Structure 1
């Protein structure tokens, strides 16, 4: 099992950032460009336990995963969603996106990823894994979300 946890500050309000992680597929595609579509297969009244079919484009291949929501919090100053899915029938993946308001225009974004191989032999390869992909994701998400926020602010002034 390999676990990564990283955080970054976003110069946007928490409510603006939240829809990039839950609820708005168009905005979600801005930080997850390989996401093609998602739809609820099972939607529970408390969001926890809901199952979403997500489609990803990887080159010319479209893959689908059933993602189960394991944690969901939507409070004014703290929002989080944790999802679990099986990647390529090899890795049990748990991802968590946490947003914590620092003030009216700053949000701490924490990303946690836990990769647990189905085959114990794959654990050996994880020993050499770095956090470079996680850091790149955080930076790309920050740039996209802040750029969209800046454009929205400019449009409201005009």
Structure 2
């Protein structure tokens, strides 16, 4: 299993940044344009345990998987969401988004991803995996959030 973790400061209020993670599909697609669908399968009152069926477009292929909410906190100064899903029966992935209010106009976003290979050939692929995708994702969130602020 590999894990990557990075953080970035975004010059936008925490509620605005949070709207990309805990909002509508339209908001989510601004930072994750490959997500084609995100439909609730099971919603729990405490959010943890909720499941969404997500469709992800990669080129012409569409992958479908269930996204499980594993952790959730929505407080004034700190917000957190951890999700988990299995991609194509090959990778078990978790993504943790942690937001911290620095001040009224600045937010710190920490993004932590784990990727566990479930098949032997995927383990070979993992040897060459880098944090490049994590860094790009954070930069994309910053760019979108600050452009809309």
Instruction: Please indicate, yes or no, whether the TM-score normalized by the shorter chain is above 0.5.
Output: yes
CA distance in 1, matches of 2:71, 2:131: 23
| Aligned alpha-carbon RMSD (Å) | 1.1
Q: What is the correspondence of 1:64-143 to structure 2 with a 5 Å cutoff?
A: 64-143=64-143
TM-score, scaled to structure 2: 0.95
CA distance in 2, matches of 1:87, 1:63: 8
Unaligned residue ranges in structure 1 (runs of 5+): 150-158
> Secondary structure of 1:110's match?
strand
Aligned match of 1:154? none
> Secondary structure of 2:125's match?
helix
CA distance in 1, matches of 2:11, 2:128: 33
Consecutive aligned runs of 4 or more in structure 1 exceeding 2 Å deviation: 119-125
Q: What is the correspondence of 1:8-47 to structure 2 with a 5 Å cutoff?
A: 8-47=8-47
Give the Å deviation of 1:124: 3.7
Structure ID, larger Rg: 1
Unaligned residue ranges in structure 2 (runs of 5+): none
> Secondary structure of 2:135's match?
helix
Spell out, residue by residue over 1:22-66, the C-alpha distance to the aligned partner (whole angstroms, 9 max, x if none).
122111101001011211101111100000011112222222110
Aligned match of 2:3? 3
CA distance in 1, matches of 2:43, 2:134: 29
